Amino acid sequence: MLRSQVIGSGSYLPSRIVTNAELAEKVETSDEWIRQRTGIEQRHIAAEGEQTSDLAIAAAQQALAAAGCEANDVDLIVCATSTPDETFPATATRVQYGLGMTRGAAFDVQAVCSGFVYGLAVADNFLRGGQAKTALLIGAETFSRILDWNDRGTCVLFGDGAGALLLRAGEGEGNSSDRGVLSTHIYSDGRHHDALYVDGGPSSTMTTGHLRMQGREVFRHAVVRMSEAIDAALSANGMSPGDIDWLVPHQANRRIIEAMGKRLNLPADRLVITVDRHANTSAASIPLAMDEAARDGRFSEGDVILLDAMGGGFTWGSALLRW
């Protein structure tokens, strides 16, 4: 049985760091409020002219280098983003060009903060089905471009960045001791549009629009839906919380992350947390966190890693993989 195995990872954060104190000079907020409610201390913001594809290319180049691969070894690029460079073409095709890749296919997946888990589900199906052997999966966002910088309820929560995983189809036994992606589960419920959306777009307002959110409503659903997605991953693999070595959740809010860790009975040091330094980078948050933990040696071969996310739509999902 074919399994999607991670053979390299990479990430990129814009150089400009904006602290909570700096934001407090622009909107009525405070470092204390932001830290207490979210755990966020700072975020990276893309430079003028720096586009989502620039971030994605930098992360992808690192992932390719980590795996010792060339761009033309890749069959498929899946780029998860809700902040594409342009309405079309897909940011993934700009990444393809930027990497010097002249073969295969490239497209975007849009599921907001669940985008990376959705993208992983897509890439995993291509690899397990034999339609691609090597897939580059990227989460890349410039949410700073769609924030209403006068809305203190949202502008303090997000940041820019990109992360990438290079996946290759490898042989497995078909059981949970295999290396690679063991399962993915994705869900959506469009009834919750109004809780989290962007009030613009090519076919509605013909503008880009700004992010709008009912924070409390999102928080309430996030805890419930992300817990359900964890249960789906465990039950599909005949595992219990004690089998999980690492939880790498979408990084929106420290309180949501800790609630998920508690549900799994995981010691705090088994939660991979970057929200304090990156804030919420939407589809980029999970691969940014994974790359950090992979590079600092936290993940060992054979570790069971659970990914869990929820975002606008609502969309939500989980993935279980063995490193």
Q: Of residues 103-132, which lie at the interface with ligand ACO (CB under 6 A)?
A: 113
Three-state secondary structure call for residue 41: coil
For residue 265, indicate whether it is catalytic: no
Q: For residue 151, give the 3-state DSSP assignment.
A: coil
At closest approach, how far in Å is the CB of 272 from ligand ACO? 16
Q: Is 134 in the site for ligand ACO (CB under 6 A)?
A: no
Binders in 39-78 for ligand ACO, by CB under 6 A: none
Cβ closer to ligand ACO: 33 or 107?
33
6 CB contacts (<8 Å, ≥6 apart)? 165, 166, 167, 180, 294, 321, 323
Q: What is the CA radius of gyration of the chain?
A: 18
* 91, 52 Cβ separation under 8 angstroms: yes
Of the candidates 210, 250, 253, 278, the residue annotated as catalytic is 250
Residue placing its CB nearer to ligand ACO in the complex, 103 or 220? 220
Q: Kindly tell me the sign of the dihedral angle through the C-alpha atoms of 36, 39, 41, 47.
A: negative
**For ligand ACO, which is the closer residue by CB, 89 or 215?**
215
37 scored as a contact of ligand ACO (CB under 6 A): yes
Q: How far is CA 218 from CA 151, 278, 315, in A?
A: 17, 20, 11
Question: In angstroms, what is the minimal distance from the CB of 262 to ligand ACO?
Answer: 17
Site for ligand ACO in 247-276 (CB under 6 A): 250, 252-253
User: How deeply is 3 buried, as exposed, middle or buried, from its count of CB atoms within 10 A (0-12, 13-18, 19+)?
Assistant: buried
Choose the catalytic residue: 20, 113, 221, 253.
113
Out of 153, 174, 201, 202, name the contact with ligand ACO by CB under 6 A: 153
Q: How far is CA 269 from CA 244, 292, 298, in A?
A: 13, 14, 10
Residue number with the smallest Cβ distance to ligand ACO: 215
Of the candidates 284, 249, 251, the residue with the CA atom closest to the CA atom of residue 91: 284
Q: Which stretch binds ligand ACO (CB under 6 A): 61-69, 116-124, 209-217, 286-294?
A: 209-217
Residues paired with 107 in a beta bridge: 78
Among 57, 77, 196, 279, binds ligand ACO (CB under 6 A): 196
* Cα–Cα dist 151/106, whole Å: 35
Exactly one of 79, 164, 310, 321 binds ligand ACO (CB under 6 A); that residue is 310
| Complex with ligand ACO: residue 222 or 229, whichever CB lies closer | 222
223, amino acid identity: V
Is 69 one of the annotated active-site residues of the chain? no
Residues carrying an active site annotation: 113, 250, 280
Residues that bind ligand ACO (CB under 6 A): 29, 33-34, 37-38, 113, 152-153, 156-157, 196, 213, 215-216, 218-219, 222, 250, 252-253, 280, 310-311
